[in-house]
Homo-oligomer: A and B are copies of this chain.
Amino acid sequence: MTDLTALNAITTVPVKLGDRSYDILIGAGLIDQAGREIAKRAKSVRVAIVTDETVAGLHLDRLMRSLSAAGIDSTAILVAPGEKSKGFATLETVTNAILAARLERGDIVVAFGGGVIGDLAGFAAGIARRGMGFIQMPTSLLAQVDSSVGGKTGINTAHGKNLVGVFYQPQLVLADTDVLDTLSPREFRAGYAEVAKYGLIDRPDFFTWLEKNWRGIFDGGPERTEAIAISCRSKADVVARDERETGDRALLNLGHTFGHALETATNYDSARLVHGEGVSIGMVLAHQFSAKMNLASPDDARRVEAHLRGVGLPVSIAGIPGDLPPAEKLMDYIAQDKKVARGALTFILTRGIGQSFIAKDVPPSAVLSFLQEKHPK
């Protein structure tokens, strides 16, 4: 009976990508069912779990027990927590550890952690033996609603975030909503910025629903699973339309061009700014800039700012602790961002809540003067 109840609680979101299609399973207590779900789909595999020390301390034993109970041999590869692990040095270490474990092509790398772990382990899985089996088990809200879905993997370099990586789809995503209770409130909020993003891109009703129901998501009510499932479905829709970001997928970058520049400016120092916080500020800036360009009403920008501030997220450049480089330098970081095409800037702008679009000819001078206004010397 317990078993059936647990199964009933799982929400499945399919990601339709032809022969690379896969399911996202979302539900409470999924870690304990991981072994069974993997064994169902892959016969006699071995597993390397890539995780960080924090997640390992909280949840690794349970995952390894679940795998073992399903007859799956596993080995754990631990990295230091935090964005600094998303670089060439740790990529090399993790890839070599996968090879040292003598895993074969059909065996599986499990990314067990937040966005950093998913991007890093997915990249390693995509290049070890030119591509191994790969499963995402996201443990942060951000990873569950965003980075674990869609196959983007990568690392950061001195030239910017995520500029090096591969498109590599997982064969399964297992999102245990219970583990989110172990996140710090700050980390949970940062992930929430990506949830709100789906409303702002093209689901105005979802944004309105979030304005009313966000407390249930934070408190672990039924709204949490619902919001995660809607977010995953939104992302899966966009990815199915444009897997390799030649078009529509760029919409998912709403808030990210400004956000990445701010992350670069704070040297990825998570004490000052984490990714979701950069996205929160970036989304507010994108709405304010759209209003300044007379594309959207300033009321919409104020509504976005009010909601994100309401949940406790930073909403302005001034909200970042410590000194920042001047607007001109931020502009440089934006120009090096990967969404630049031949001198003209590509930005995700908006005509209002849930009406985002890809603007391909944004004049750099307009962005610079907007930044100078928002971030005076």
Chain A residues in the interface with B (C-beta under 8 A): 44, 88, 91-92, 95-96, 99-100, 102, 104-105, 123, 126-131, 152, 154, 157-160, 163-167, 244, 336, 338, 340-342
Contact = CB atoms under 8 A, between A and B. Distances in A.
A95 B130 contact: no
A104 B341 contact: yes
A86 to B, nearest CB: 14
Contact of A96 (B123, B127, B159, B342): B159
20 contacts: A44-B342, A88-B88, A95-B157, A96-B158, A99-B157, A99-B159, A99-B160, A99-B163, A102-B336, A105-B338, A127-B165, A127-B166, A128-B163, A128-B164, A129-B163, A129-B164, A130-B154, A130-B164, A130-B167, A166-B166
Given A105-B338, A338-B105, A157 B96 contact: yes
Contacts of A154: 130
A166 B131 contact: yes
In the complex, the count of this chain's copies comes to 2
Contacts of A102: 336
Contacts of A129: 163-164, 338
Contacts of A100: 159
Given A105-B338, A338-B105, A166 B126 contact: yes
The 7 closest A-B pairs by CB, nearest first: A99-B159, A88-B92, A130-B165, A127-B164, A129-B338, A95-B164, A99-B163
Contacts of A342: 44, 104
Nearest to A153: B130
Nearest to A91: B88
A264 to B, nearest CB: 13
A130 B152 contact: yes
A221 to B, nearest CB: 37
Contacts of A244: 130-131
A239 to B, nearest CB: 14
A166 B129 CA distance: 8
